[in-house]
Structure 1
Amino acid sequence: MANTQLPEVFATEAAQVNTEVDAGAGKHVEPELLGLAPYQWVSISMLVLLAIAFLGAKVHKTIAAGLDSKIAAIKQQLDEAKQLRAEAEALRQEYADKIAGAEKDAEAMLENAQHEADALLVKAEADSKAMVERRKRMAEDKISAAEREAIDDVRNRAAMAATSASRKLIAEKHDAAADRALADKVIADI
């Protein structure tokens, strides 16, 4: 082991590294950074950590308060949204009920109109039948009245013709002597 290599050590300017190795006993060199020993760095780190924790607690409270206010605002917005949704649902249900009621009313009105139309049709048919019957009777009455007038007219003419013919016949065949005998007979019968 004649040629032993020593490990290469990198050091900063402030730190002095002893690279000499005694053949017998070695001298222990403490590592340092910026002139501070490791325990000093641990102490500074703890102080920084405690300062951050102390100051961070206040920041944490501020952040927590900000987040809490944001959460409260979001909850309020959610509650408002739920309320608006409930109102919208109620309005939708109300309008759905109104539409259903309007459809039922429309159906009822249509059914009522159909019944009225059917009743009017039945009444119109009955009225037309009654009117036809009335006109038929009136026509029959006019015809029978015309027949009676015609019969009366024929009877009157026949009576006048018979009277006129009997006058002529009586005048031709009956003279004054026959009149006297007939008047005497009538008087005797009374």
Structure 2
Amino acid sequence: MRFLLPLALLSATPALAATGPFFSLANTDFVVTLGFLAFIGLVVYLKVPGRLMGMLDDRAAGIRKDLEEARALRDEAQTILASYERKTREAQEQADAIVAAAKTDAQAAAEQAKADLAVSVERRLRAAEDQIESAQAAAVREVRDSAVSVAIAAAGQVVAGQLSATEANSLIDESIETVSAKLH
């Protein structure tokens, strides 16, 4: 290769190229044709087309591999996106279900609280009515007891004023006998 290049440079100088018969080194067309054929021969001898084709094939294979990898990544991204969207929908559905259940529970709790309040009010009303009835009964008893006490006191005064001492003593003796007869 070192020897061919200087020789090719010297043989292709314009001073050597001249017009004349075609197969003469003085003809520039013939010299250019020989240089071109030598160049093509050198390129074929060094297997440059095979190497270029191999490099192009390698590059095409690399591009094909990159495209397949990009498709795989796109498919994986679409799968992940679909999964994410599905999970988002499921989470939204769960959130909606939780909200609906909470509303239902709140309504049920409110209704239960109303029912419990009504029962409590009814119970307290009954308790208040019972206390009022009890107070009325106690007041009636007190009035009766007072009336009885007043009547006994008045009867005692009337009887004491109308009975003589001998009659009172005979009544006391009869009462003692009655009590002792009932006790024995």
Same fold at TM > 0.5 = yes
Aligned identity (percent) is 31
- What residue is the counterpart of 1:61 in the other structure? 50
Does 2:131 align with 1:173?
Answer: no
1:109-151 per-residue CA deviation (whole Å, 9 max, x = no partner) reads 0000000000100000001111111111111111111001000
More helix by percentage: 2
**Which ranges in structure 2 are unaligned for 5 or more consecutive residues?**
1-14, 179-184
**Which ranges in structure 1 are unaligned for 5 or more consecutive residues?**
1-13, 15-32
Between the aligned partners of 1:50 and 1:140, the Cα distance in structure 2 is 131
The one-letter code of the counterpart of 1:136 is L
Deviation at residue 59 of structure 1 after TM alignment: 2.1
Question: 1:73 pairs with 50, 62, 69, which one?
Answer: 62
What secondary structure sits across from 1:34 in the alignment? coil
- What residue is the counterpart of 1:37 in the other structure? 21
Between the aligned partners of 2:42 and 2:53, the Cα distance in structure 1 is 14
Does 2:120 align with 1:131?
Answer: yes
- What residue is the counterpart of 1:21 in the other structure? none
- What residue is the counterpart of 1:25 in the other structure? none
Between the aligned partners of 2:119 and 2:125, the Cα distance in structure 1 is 10
- How many equivalent pairs are there? 152
The one-letter code of the counterpart of 1:78 is L
Between the aligned partners of 1:51 and 1:112, the Cα distance in structure 2 is 91
1:43-78 per-residue CA deviation (whole Å, 9 max, x = no partner) reads 766655554554445322211111111111111111
Between the aligned partners of 1:163 and 1:150, the Cα distance in structure 2 is 19
Does 2:133 align with 1:149?
Answer: no
Deviation at residue 92 of structure 1 after TM alignment: 0.6
Between the aligned partners of 1:54 and 1:174, the Cα distance in structure 2 is 175
- What residue is the counterpart of 2:74 in the other structure? 85
The CA RMSD measured in Å over matched residues stands at 2.7
User: For residues 93-112 of structure 1, what are the structure 2 equivalents within 5 Å?
Assistant: 93-112=82-101
Which has the higher Rg, Structure 1 or Structure 2?
Answer: 1
The one-letter code of the counterpart of 1:79 is E
The one-letter code of the counterpart of 1:111 is A
Between the aligned partners of 1:125 and 1:35, the Cα distance in structure 2 is 123
The one-letter code of the counterpart of 2:114 is E
Deviation at residue 38 of structure 1 after TM alignment: 3.0
Between the aligned partners of 2:146 and 2:19, the Cα distance in structure 1 is 171
Deviation at residue 169 of structure 1 after TM alignment: 1.0
Deviation at residue 88 of structure 1 after TM alignment: 0.7
Q: TM-score, normalised by structure 1?
A: 0.69
Q: TM-score, normalised by structure 2?
A: 0.71
